[in-house]
Amino acid sequence: EPEVTQTPSHQVTQMGQEVILRCVPISNHLYFYWYRQILGQKVEFLVSFYNNEISEKSEIFDDQFSVERPDGSNFTLKIRSTKLEDSAMYFCASSAQGPEQFFGPGTRLTVL
């Protein structure tokens, strides 16, 4: 069964460094999302992406964040200058025409 994959599973970085989190959505899906979950808190929406552009973003998704689909398979989230409060689990999700979103296993980002 096809699934969303994410790499790396765990990323440790120093404050102020740039990180790129990678996702490979399910191949025939058209809509892509990033969510984050700070430890012990609920899952929060960051951004959605369709037809090579951002379709919606939350107030969390400020100028430090960007997304890209550099080729036909990858979907990336870049954080330009990480802050301590960016430490969280980041989930990629994708969907086809239906309302269900399918999540990847997540990347745990630790900012020191």
Partner 1 sequence: AQTVTQSQPEMSVQEAETVTLSCTYDTSENNYYLFWYKQPPSRQMILVIRQEAYKQQNATENRFSVNFQKAAKSFSLKISDSQLGDTAMYFCAFKLGYGGSQGNLIFGKGTKLSVKP
Residue 104 or 111: the one with the smaller Cβ distance to partner 1 is 104
Q: Which is nearer to partner 1, 65 or 91 (CB)?
A: 91
Residue 52 in the binding site for partner 1 (CB under 8 A): no
Give me the torsion for CA of 70, 76, 77, 79, rounded to 10°. -70
Angle at the Cα of 96 from the Cα atoms of 90 and 100, rounded to 5 degrees: 65
Q: How far apart are CA 42 and CA 88, in angstroms?
A: 11
Candidate list 22, 31, 69, 74; residue touching partner 1; CB under 8 A: 31
Q: Which residues pair with 88 in a beta bridge?
A: 109
65 binds partner 1 (CB under 8 A): no
**Spatial contact of 47 and 58, defined as CB atoms under 8 Å apart:** yes
Q: Binding partner 1 by CB under 8 A: which of 7, 13, 22, 43?
A: 43
Residue 28 makes CB contacts below 8 A (sequence gap 6+) with 96
Contact between 11 and partner 1 (CB under 8 A)? no
Residues forming the site for partner 1 (CB under 8 A): 30-31, 33, 35, 41-45, 48, 50, 55-56, 58, 89, 91, 93, 95-106, 108
